[in-house]
Chain A
Amino acid sequence: MRSLTTGLALTAQQAEMLDELNRYLDEHFPPEHEGPSGSTPEWDSDEEYEWNRRFNARLARDGWLTVHWPEEYGGRGLTPMDNMLVREQLSYRRVPICNANGLDMLAPILLQLGTKEQKDAHLRKIALMEEHWCQGFSEPEAGSDLTSLRTTAIRDGDHYVVNGSKIWTGHAMRAEWMILLARTDPESRGSRGLSLLMVDLRNTPGVEIHPIRSMTGAVTFCQEFFTDARVPVENLVGPEHEGWRASQRLLEHERVRAANSALYRRDVDDLVEAVVARDVVDRATQAALGHMIERVECARALTYDIATELSETGRFAPHAPSVTKILNSRLGGDLTRLAVDLLGLDVCSYRADDANWDFYQEFLFSPVSRLGGGSTEIHHDIIGTRYLGLER
């Protein structure tokens, strides 16, 4: 079975780890469960989702999902770079990763800001897919202007009382828990007075979840309504009223995930195969495909740099997440439109043998990549004002 080359000088240990992972996947991951890029397994049918959730739990038990976590929480204590190498292979093999919000966004924040009780209560369950998480940030009136959000969580004794609504919540249709950004200081405005709360969606009275059917035909998002929903005070993550900083860290972790770039490499490799199988490939097509490979590899190079930096210093450049986000979101659209252009009217019926995806699905999912995790325009402003120092 195919694997992804890194072009990096890997240590013997890293090379052996990736070989072992590929052998493991050859044995345990059948190609009919390969997923489309741009999608998340939560959007799939119940049967497919259940298979993937079980497989993800198995990956975690066998030590492949959280290699960079401390050993006390079920990790292997390896570096962020090692984790990235593993995730790249998983992406390239089109292994759908469930619970991305729990694994890649909440967990790093809990490891950094969480109390011992919070870490003990949630980290292992996140990895083993026993707690599936979603992220409650956007609201009907607060999209790109996120800090104008209106959902309140007012302290009442040992609880916060939550009122308001969240929307465009991916994963929520399958999630048991939400990491919620809400206004805990009712007198505050803007980014001050916000806090991060962990909400047990399925066991808290006053929480309603409404599915939203998207243009793909599937349920890809939900809207949630909170009516006097009581959340225990011990579910506050980080300092009260200072949730904006923590949520920024969380979003940065979302944006520097390497998985996208490697998935796009698989996409473009599959597209090359499809195009070669159909016809003689003319020069203009070769140039277009070569350009796409180059863009994907540039994005991978940048994510390697970020992971190396994170492994060596624990930090990465402040604008790096936004740069990565812009590159990957454009790739998502351009690559799938190239696929439609090259496969023509066959695009809806063209698919890999046995696989659970086709290029048309990827085309349908691609607009999300320009919006999710902050729109491309918001990221331009983050880079322009915070990094280049230009006025807003």
Chain B
Amino acid sequence: MPHIALGGEDRTDEQRDLRMELRRLLTRLWSDDHARELADGDRTTGAKLAAVLEHDIALGALLVPEELGGHGGGCVEAAVAAEELGAASAPSRLLGDAMSAHLLATSGDAELHRRLRRVVEDGVPAAVVWPAQDATWDLHQIHPVEITGAGASGRFRYVAEALDAALLLVPARRGAEFGLLLLDLSREGSGVELHPAKGADVLRPLGGLTVAGPTGEWVGLAEPQRVFTETVALGAIVLAAEMIGAARSCIERMATYAGQREQFGRTIGSFQALRHQIVDALVAWEAARAMTYRAAAGFAAMTRGTARIDDVEPMARMAKAAASDALGEASETCIHVYGAIGFTWENPVHLAFKRWAASAQIFGSPTEQRVRVCQHAIINAGGRAGGALRVAG
């Protein structure tokens, strides 16, 4: 299929190389047929891709600092990888890996740093257990696992990428203290129950988790709230970039199809009413993509110590909301442009349509993000000197 190359330039050679390497690899290993097999329930389909992503390019080590044995990449590199994986409708563990790496690295805890080094060395699939339906990104607003003398107790209805993880990083509370419960699923037999949950996105199955009894390993955190808010913000940016990729694929597909399919003796893309719908999807996508990489660059600056989470958090929220809308519009318009073919199982657009239904909701719906962006602006407005508005007499 001829492709229209969408998307702006990467800023560094490393980012360009990562994008190109992933594109080559995904073109070779992951076709629409593979995605369909996965959608048909064949859980073995992604195994080869997963092995190559893990062993050949060690995607799990992308965000792990070099001194802990990783690639030393930042949020922008995570966004690049997520966009390409999303564009290919490829399953991956990028969300869980990225969030786990950031959480363990930014904790400042020597024991957790050792743990992260082992995760990279042994290729341990890890996931952060943050309630997927939470929009607050605030440790004090969720229900972490409670740890008492009798052991741990907690329940999460939807968690992303936990089902096939070997290490779970669970927000936990012991008395007045907040921290982490580490669950090594290769060792914990009793007390941890993971079960598949119904979900829209076959590329990212959701699981439910129940923890009960003396299980896991407690680690107190020095700045638990900051660490978790940052981690969820990173997850939101990764999800946004993945949706940007999925939307890109929809736009490329529908533009190509509209340039080929003929009705009334001319290509359907020559009809302004249809052409403008495709352009509208592109315009929304361009804006959301720019915001996503701006948020990713802001997050990277924060990791380097030159930006604050208070400024990065609203950017991550805006990126997530804009990317959600962009994917919703692109996938729906794509189905429409294809006509009834777009509604078939054979045409892979439904994967993007369904991905929107899940990814737009994980860590808060667009509406939830917008409410919080506004609240952030209200707090800032209160802090500004002067500029008061009034009704003129």
Q: Do A and B bind each other?
A: yes
**A residues whose Cβ falls under 8 Å from a Cβ of B:** 1-2, 5, 7-9, 31, 268-270, 272-274, 276-277, 281, 283, 285-291, 293-295, 297-299, 301-302, 304-305, 308-309, 317, 323, 326-327, 346, 349-353, 377, 380-381, 383-385, 387-392
Beta-carbon contacts under 8 Å, B252-298 to A? 255, 258-259, 266-267, 269-270, 272, 275-276, 278-280, 282-283, 286-288, 290-291, 293-294, 297-298
Q: A7-B311, A298-B287 are in contact. Are A290 and B293 (CB under 8 A)?
A: no
Q: When each residue 39-81 of chain B gets 1 if its CB lies under 8 Å from chain A and 0 otherwise, what string results?
A: 0000000000000000000000000000000000000000000
Closest chain A residue, CB of each to CB of B389? A274
Are A283 and B276 in contact, with the CB atoms below 8 A?
no
Partner of A323, one of B286, B387, B388, B391: B286
Are B387 and A2 in contact, with the CB atoms below 8 A?
yes
Are A297 and B318 in contact, with the CB atoms below 8 A?
yes
Closest chain B residue, CB of each to CB of A283? B371
Are B279 and A384 in contact, with the CB atoms below 8 A?
yes
- In this assembly, does B327 line the interface, its C-beta being within 8 Å of a C-beta of chain A? no
Q: A381-B275, A388-B255 are in contact. Are A323 and B269 (CB under 8 A)?
A: no
Are A276 and B381 in contact, with the CB atoms below 8 A?
yes
Query: For residue A349, which residues in chain B have a CB less than 8 angstroms away from its CB?
Result: 391-392
Are A390 and B287 in contact, with the CB atoms below 8 A?
no
- In this assembly, does B22 line the interface, its C-beta being within 8 Å of a C-beta of chain A? no
**At the interface, is chain A mostly helix, strand, loop or mixed?**
helix
Are B276 and A377 in contact, with the CB atoms below 8 A?
yes
- In this complex, the interface size class of chain B, counting residues with CB under 8 Å from chain A, is 35 or more
Query: For residue A277, which residues in chain B have a CB less than 8 angstroms away from its CB?
Result: 388-390
**B residues whose Cβ falls under 8 Å from a Cβ of A:** 4, 8-9, 11, 255, 258-259, 266-267, 269-270, 272, 275-276, 278-280, 282-283, 286-288, 290-291, 293-294, 297-298, 301, 306-307, 311-312, 315, 317-318, 321-322, 366-367, 369-375, 377-378, 380-382, 384-392
Are B371 and A294 in contact, with the CB atoms below 8 A?
no
A381 to B283 alpha-carbon distance, docked (Å): 12
CB distance from A390 to the nearest CB of B (A): 4
- 21 sample A-B contacts, Cβ–Cβ < 8 Å, listed by A number: A269-B381, A272-B377, A273-B384, A283-B371, A290-B370, A290-B375, A293-B370, A294-B318, A301-B293, A302-B286, A302-B287, A323-B283, A327-B283, A327-B287, A350-B391, A353-B388, A377-B272, A384-B275, A388-B269, A389-B255, A390-B278
CB distance from A19 to the nearest CB of B (A): 16
Counting chain B CB atoms within 10 Å of each CB, the highest count among A270, A289, A294 belongs to: A294
Are A301 and B290 in contact, with the CB atoms below 8 A?
yes
Closest chain A residue, CB of each to CB of B393? A349
Query: For residue A304, which residues in chain B have a CB less than 8 angstroms away from its CB?
Result: 290, 294
Q: A7-B294, A286-B375 are in contact. Are A294 and B9 (CB under 8 A)?
A: no
CB distance from B207 to the nearest CB of A (A): 30
Are A5 and B282 in contact, with the CB atoms below 8 A?
no
Are A388 and B390 in contact, with the CB atoms below 8 A?
no
Q: Give how many A-B residue pairs fall within 8 Å (CB-CB).
A: 186
Partner of A390, one of B269, B371, B373, B389: B269
Q: A287-B371, A383-B283 are in contact. Are A309 and B8 (CB under 8 A)?
A: yes
Counting chain B CB atoms within 10 Å of each CB, the highest count among A290, A381, A392 belongs to: A290
Query: For residue A308, which residues in chain B have a CB less than 8 angstroms away from its CB?
Result: 11
CB distance from B309 to the nearest CB of A (A): 12
Q: A1-B385, A1-B386 are in contact. Are A290 and B311 (CB under 8 A)?
A: no
Partner of B269, one of A7, A9, A384: A384
Closest chain B residue, CB of each to CB of A298? B287
Query: For residue B388, which residues in chain A have a CB less than 8 angstroms away from its CB?
Result: 273, 277, 352-353
Are B387 and A273 in contact, with the CB atoms below 8 A?
yes
CB distance from B183 to the nearest CB of A (A): 36
Task: Given A323-B287, A384-B279, output 19 extra A-B contacts at Cβ < 8 Å.
Answer: A2-B385, A31-B386, A268-B377, A270-B387, A272-B381, A276-B381, A276-B382, A289-B374, A291-B366, A293-B374, A302-B290, A323-B283, A353-B386, A377-B276, A384-B269, A387-B282, A388-B4, A388-B255, A391-B269
Query: For residue B378, which residues in chain A have a CB less than 8 angstroms away from its CB?
Result: 272, 276, 281, 286
Are B377 and A305 in contact, with the CB atoms below 8 A?
no
CB distance from A322 to the nearest CB of B (A): 8
Query: For residue A293, which residues in chain B have a CB less than 8 angstroms away from its CB?
Result: 318, 370, 373-374, 377
Closest chain B residue, CB of each to CB of A302? B290
Are B371 and A286 in contact, with the CB atoms below 8 A?
yes
Query: For residue A383, which residues in chain B have a CB less than 8 angstroms away from its CB?
Result: 279, 282-283
